[in-house]
Structure 1
Amino acid sequence: MAHRVPRFITDFFVYETAKSVVVKSWSVGIINRVVQLLIILYFICWVFMHEKGHQQRDTGIESAVMSKVKGLGKFNNRVMDVADYVVPSQGGSSFSVITSMVITANQTQGRCPETDPKFKCTTDDECMAKLGSNLGNGIITGTCLNNNNETTGWCEIEGWCPAEDDTVSGKPMKEVENFTIFVKNSIRFPLFNVTRGNFPSSLNQSYIQSCHYDSVDDPFCPIFKVGDILRHINQSFDSITDKGGEIGININWKCNLDYNVMYCNPNYFFTRLDAAFKNSAASKGYNFRFAKYYQSEDGTEHRTLHKAKAIRFEIIVSGNAGKFSTVPFLINLVAAFTSVGLATVFCDIILLNFHKGADEYKAKKFEEVSGIVSESANNRLYEGSQMSLKALEKRSNDSGTFSIGRQDPSNQ
């Protein structure tokens, strides 16, 4: 019956057990110990030089940011203070410092000529073709308002009049370069219940009012000059005020809580967030519009429209904290000792395929034994095993193992 059973079934239902073979080879023995030593050294470096290998990490940082800008500037012969050039005024993690504006004063609801060059016309038909367009300063009525010589004119709009002419702009406030930004950041690592602030409580009021952040001389000062930030990102003041721009103030917390919590302090770095669009043909820089409304004595609603070019600041907080934990340490320890077994696999590949004694090694390492053995055969195997063991005791120093390779002259 046995020969009728398909071979793949008999090959599947087998049991394999390890057989110890001692190979006395200088070359393979040296390779084995060198590979084991390298694996152990790698583990030591990983555990003691890389904190992540044995620390419990907390990346769920909780953060709150408060900001305040200070400085006085002058734009179009008008002195500008914080209430004039900072938008919004709440002092959060995102705010804009206006560098220049196009101001359209005394606008009221009515009809007037468009000022956008896309809406130039000579006939009403040209304006009728642009009905429904929402890209200008108002809704197109379909009428072309020509000048006195009946030459090129402008399409009429209905909306806030007079229409904004954004081709007229004053020079930017040069004083913006000396404006200061105060940043107050508090963070918490919930896993370890650790709370920190971006400057120590020991700093007094006079120091904060006079210091400016410097990564070497004043790393804990929370006051940043706009000009210093621009120099950190290799940007000139003129290049960013021409079209506006976006700058990131990055606060990074990387804390090893195995040490005293007083060493948990932030690092600051700065980036130009809109750098990806510096070569773009459209939508360069940063600008926005806002209006201030009022009523005249006769009840007519008026507004002053501002189109502002600005430097937008984004305060970005990131970080993680780590502390020694037994569980990841033990996991890495077990993984390291398990990896030592790779040396055996590597040496087996050499012995089975490239070593001059490969055939002898294969014969000793792999042996097939039938699972069906009669009682008399068992007795013979037992007696033979006893005799073999006695013979092996004379030929090997390791009981229960086969030894190939170098021979001890005393046993010959």
Structure 2
Amino acid sequence: MMGVIAGFFSYETNKSVVVKSWSVGIINRVVQLVIITYFVCYVFLYEKAYQVSDTAIESSVITKVKGFGELNNRVMDVADYIYPPQGAGVFCILTRIIVTDNQFQGRCPEVRALSDFICPSSSMLEFKDFTIFIKNSIRFPLFDVTRGNFPSTLNITNCTFDKDLDPSCPIFRVQDILRETQQNASVLAKKGGEIGINIEWQCNLDLNIDRCVPKYSFRRLDAPFENNTISKGYNFRFAKYYKTEKGTEFRTLHKAYAVRFDVMVTGKARKFSLIPTVINVVAALTSIGMGTVVCDVILLNFLRGAEQYKAKKFEEV
């Protein structure tokens, strides 16, 4: 009992022992070098641990499509082939329409074959020559920074996006997007599909704000179903209603195949902050002490003369 009480009221203090051993000294320095390299190269340079980040990006997207095509012996412009017409971040370019005319509601003892009412349909391959104008405004609320996807000095009347020659132009040719996503225009026009346009903002606000510019990338969103025979491509139906002279209502049903474009905006802004810098510097300095722990384990358990080292390191007074 007295031994427990005496142990409870004892006091331990660190004792420094200098061990002149090349092997232990080399291990100690190597461990310290690895820890320092990790914090400098990965934590500070790669992860930017000295900065605070904001990923809650606020975004607004406006789109506008231009171009003319021919579908079912009709010349089509934007008012005919864009759905919905408001020009939001998600829109469709109609490339093929199957029209079923003169549908009446009623009961008939016998009817004509349905194929008699269905108009033959071709694909509008001219859609690959259309251009898409994208206007994107973003804001990082943590830093109250707003940006647009093209500078006000840019002449957009005669530019076309090119990731190497003109990466800041907000006007995209559909054919270039299909080339980036490795899609066949005729197949896509016949069955439809979904294409994603990703606008990525990576902004280091410690640098010049003019370097905060977007990067564009493109991909086929419905790629897992591209070769699926059950649900392939993209299509939807809509109807136009009319009335006869006698007031009987009938409709023309349209089955539209379309290329759907989804404009997706992601982003992250970073800026220097003293608090995370101090926290990570302290963590780095504390972690350097891991070298001492590793060397103590080796010294007291694996080297020759371990008992002698223990006697020197642990001493009762």
Counterpart residue number, 1:311: 259
Displacement, 1:104? Answer: 1.0
SS at match of 1:52: coil
What CA distance in whole angstroms lies between the structure 2 residues aligned with 1:28 and 1:345?
Answer: 11
Residue identity over aligned pairs, in percent, reads: 62
Checking the alignment, whether the CA contact within 8 Å between 1:102 and 1:166 is kept in structure 2 is no
294-303 vs 283-292, greater mean Cα deviation? 294-303
Counterpart residue number, 2:141: 190
1:100 to 93, 96, 99: 96
2:54 to 54, 58, 63: 58
In 2 relative to 1, CA 50–164 (structure 1 residues): closer, same or farther, beyond 3 Å?
Answer: farther
Which digits, 9 at most, give the CA deviation of each residue in 1:152-208, with x for residues without a partner?
xxxx8xxxx98688986522111011011111000000111111000101123xxx2
1:26-37 matched pairs, under 5 angstroms: 26-37=22-33
1:68 to 61, 64, 71: 64
What CA distance in whole angstroms lies between the structure 2 residues aligned with 1:199 and 1:272?
Answer: 25
Tell me if 1:78 matches 2:74: yes
1:245 to 184, 193, 203: 193
Checking the alignment, whether the CA contact within 8 Å between 1:35 and 1:343 is kept in structure 2 is yes
Tell me if 1:300 matches 2:248: yes
What CA distance in whole angstroms lies between the structure 2 residues aligned with 1:10 and 1:104?
Answer: 98
SS at match of 2:107: strand
Tell me if 1:110 matches 2:106: yes
Which digits, 9 at most, give the CA deviation of each residue in 1:275-320, with x for residues without a partner?
0112323111110001112223322222211000110110000001
- Structure 1 residues not aligned, in runs of 5+: 113-142, 146-155, 370-412
Checking the alignment, whether the CA contact within 8 Å between 2:35 and 2:288 is kept in structure 1 is yes
Checking the alignment, whether the CA contact within 8 Å between 1:86 and 1:95 is kept in structure 2 is yes
Counterpart residue number, 1:382: none
CA RMSD between the two structures: 2.4
SS at match of 1:22: coil
Give, as a single letter, the amino acid of the residue that structure 1 aligns with 2:38. Answer: Y
Give, as a single letter, the amino acid of the residue that structure 1 aligns with 2:268. Answer: N
Checking the alignment, whether the CA contact within 8 Å between 2:94 and 2:259 is kept in structure 1 is yes
Counterpart residue number, 2:307: 359
1:200 to 131, 136, 151: 151
Checking the alignment, whether the CA contact within 8 Å between 1:252 and 1:266 is kept in structure 2 is yes
What CA distance in whole angstroms lies between the structure 2 residues aligned with 1:324 and 1:85?
Answer: 48
Counterpart residue number, 1:375: none
In 2 relative to 1, CA 165–269 (structure 1 residues): closer, same or farther, beyond 3 Å?
Answer: farther
SS at match of 2:227: coil
1:228-239 matched pairs, under 5 angstroms: 228-239=176-187
- Structure 2 residues not aligned, in runs of 5+: none
Displacement, 1:263? Answer: 0.8
Counterpart residue number, 2:292: 344
What CA distance in whole angstroms lies between the structure 2 residues aligned with 1:51 and 1:341?
Answer: 22
Displacement, 1:41? Answer: 2.9
Displacement, 1:239? Answer: 2.4
What CA distance in whole angstroms lies between the structure 1 residues aligned with 2:207 and 2:225?
Answer: 43
What CA distance in whole angstroms lies between the structure 1 residues aligned with 2:117 and 2:196?
Answer: 28
Displacement, 1:47? Answer: 5.3
Which digits, 9 at most, give the CA deviation of each residue in 1:216-250, with x for residues without a partner?
11111111111110000111112222311000000
Counterpart residue number, 1:403: none
Give, as a single letter, the amino acid of the residue that structure 1 aligns with 2:234. Answer: Y
TM-score (norm 2): 0.92
In 2 relative to 1, CA 87–354 (structure 1 residues): closer, same or farther, beyond 3 Å?
Answer: same
What CA distance in whole angstroms lies between the structure 2 residues aligned with 1:188 and 1:330?
Answer: 28
Tell me if 1:170 matches 2:121: yes
What CA distance in whole angstroms lies between the structure 1 residues aligned with 2:308 and 2:117?
Answer: 91
Checking the alignment, whether the CA contact within 8 Å between 2:102 and 2:117 is kept in structure 1 is no
In 2 relative to 1, CA 167–30 (structure 1 residues): closer, same or farther, beyond 3 Å?
Answer: farther
Checking the alignment, whether the CA contact within 8 Å between 1:101 and 1:170 is kept in structure 2 is yes
What CA distance in whole angstroms lies between the structure 1 residues aligned with 2:116 and 2:10?
Answer: 89
2:217 to 259, 269, 290: 269
In 2 relative to 1, CA 11–109 (structure 1 residues): closer, same or farther, beyond 3 Å?
Answer: farther
Checking the alignment, whether the CA contact within 8 Å between 1:107 and 1:162 is kept in structure 2 is no
Checking the alignment, whether the CA contact within 8 Å between 2:53 and 2:270 is kept in structure 1 is yes
In 2 relative to 1, CA 353–276 (structure 1 residues): closer, same or farther, beyond 3 Å?
Answer: same
Q: Which has the larger radius of gyration?
A: 1
1:323-334 matched pairs, under 5 angstroms: 323-334=271-282
What CA distance in whole angstroms lies between the structure 2 residues aligned with 1:168 and 1:235?
Answer: 28
In 2 relative to 1, CA 368–293 (structure 1 residues): closer, same or farther, beyond 3 Å?
Answer: same
Checking the alignment, whether the CA contact within 8 Å between 1:288 and 1:308 is kept in structure 2 is yes
Tell me if 1:286 matches 2:237: no
SS at match of 1:338: helix
Counterpart residue number, 2:83: 87
TM-score (norm 1): 0.72
